[in-house]
Amino acid sequence: MFTKRTIPATATQDQLVWKILFDRQTALLHRRAAPVFNQGLARLGLRRDVVPDIGELSATVREHTGWQLAPVGRPFEPAAFFELLAERKFPIVTRIRPMHSFDFSPEPDLFHDLFGHVPMLLDEGLADFLHALGQAYRAQPVGSATREQLWALYFFTAEFGLVQHEGKPMLYGAGLLSSAGEIHHCVNEHTPRPAFDLATVLRTPVTGTRYQNQYFVLPAWQQLSDCVDELAGILAGRCA
């Protein structure tokens, strides 16, 4: 006698959404994604036909950079989010976007977090940068302007950053890597893409518009690591 195993409809739909998004983004990112992202993706071994297991990915990330993935039901407020970063933990939203939000998910979802952020967490430079950002945020008073500025720095790097590579701006921010709509907007010839400058980024407000008004391009990947010391100098100067 056979026992019929029923696969929940939501699980089947999640698999389908993952596969379609995976195929489309990998095609779209060909020659557009920064090498650091491609290296991370290859090391993780993400597959188009399987929604990854968060626990297994967390073990791999921990092995490389000491970070861990923390499954969460919904996106966090900035203070709780930065608190996790300070502990070298990255929250992963376990819900995947519905079919009608393929191009643009207004909130982080499983695809954004796993496909966009996790490959980048395998890079020492980005991992240490995010850790420093979490610690810096934690040290600032609640509601302070400096916390807002640190949020902007996170936003214009880990979420929507680009880096110059062989004369071309390449994508490394998770909000770009995981969104077809945002990529098309970013690479449009009319969208401003100024060179990254820490002081400028800190005083650039984060807007709530559908797509970003501008994207900052690191002249080289090393500059992300260099700006940790630069940031510490700026914050120390404010306390003096």
The yes or no reply on residue 174 touching Fe ion (CB under 5 A) is yes
- 160 burial class (0-12, 13-18, 19+ CB within 10 angstroms)? buried
In the bound complex, what is the minimum distance in angstroms from residue 234's beta carbon to Fe ion?
A: 24
Query: Using CA atoms, how far apart are residues 40 and 44, in angstroms rounded to an integer?
Result: 6
Closer CB to Fe ion, 125 or 226, in the complex: 125
117: annotated active-site residue: yes
Give the residue from 166, 191, 197 showing the smallest Cα distance to 176: 191
The yes or no reply on residue 169 touching Fe ion (CB under 5 A) is no
Total of chain residues touching Fe ion, rule CB under 5 A: 2
In the bound complex, what is the minimum distance in angstroms from residue 115's beta carbon to Fe ion?
A: 11
In the bound complex, what is the minimum distance in angstroms from residue 116's beta carbon to Fe ion?
A: 6
**Ranges within 145-164 binding Fe ion (CB under 5 A):** none
The catalytically annotated residue of 58, 105, 131, 178 is 178
The catalytically annotated residue of 117, 131, 179, 182 is 117
In the bound complex, what is the minimum distance in angstroms from residue 108's beta carbon to Fe ion?
A: 5
Closer CB to Fe ion, 114 or 227, in the complex: 114
Q: How far is CA 115 from CA 32, 110, 153, 168, 228, in A?
A: 15, 8, 21, 22, 25
Query: Using CA atoms, how far apart are residues 68 and 84, in angstroms rounded to an integer?
Result: 10
112: annotated active-site residue: yes
Query: Using CA atoms, how far apart are residues 22 and 73, in angstroms rounded to an integer?
Result: 22
Show the beta-strand stretches assigned E in the chain. Answer: 68-72, 89-93, 162-165, 168-171, 217-218
Query: Using CA atoms, how far apart are residues 166 and 134, in angstroms rounded to an integer?
Result: 31
One-letter amino acid for residue 84 of the chain: L
- What is the token pair recorded at 185? 């907007």
The catalytically annotated residue of 112, 131, 182, 185 is 112
The yes or no reply on residue 127 touching Fe ion (CB under 5 A) is no
Closer CB to Fe ion, 83 or 226, in the complex: 83
143 torsion bin: left (phi>0), alpha (psi -120 to 50), beta (else): left
Closer CB to Fe ion, 121 or 163, in the complex: 121
**Ranges within 84-113 binding Fe ion (CB under 5 A):** 108
Closer CB to Fe ion, 118 or 174, in the complex: 174
As a whole number of Å, the end-to-end CA separation of the chain is 77
The yes or no reply on residue 173 touching Fe ion (CB under 5 A) is no
The yes or no reply on residue 126 touching Fe ion (CB under 5 A) is no
In the bound complex, what is the minimum distance in angstroms from residue 97's beta carbon to Fe ion?
A: 13
Any idea which residues carry the catalytic annotation?
112, 117, 159, 178
Q: Which residues bind Fe ion (CB under 5 A)?
A: 108, 174
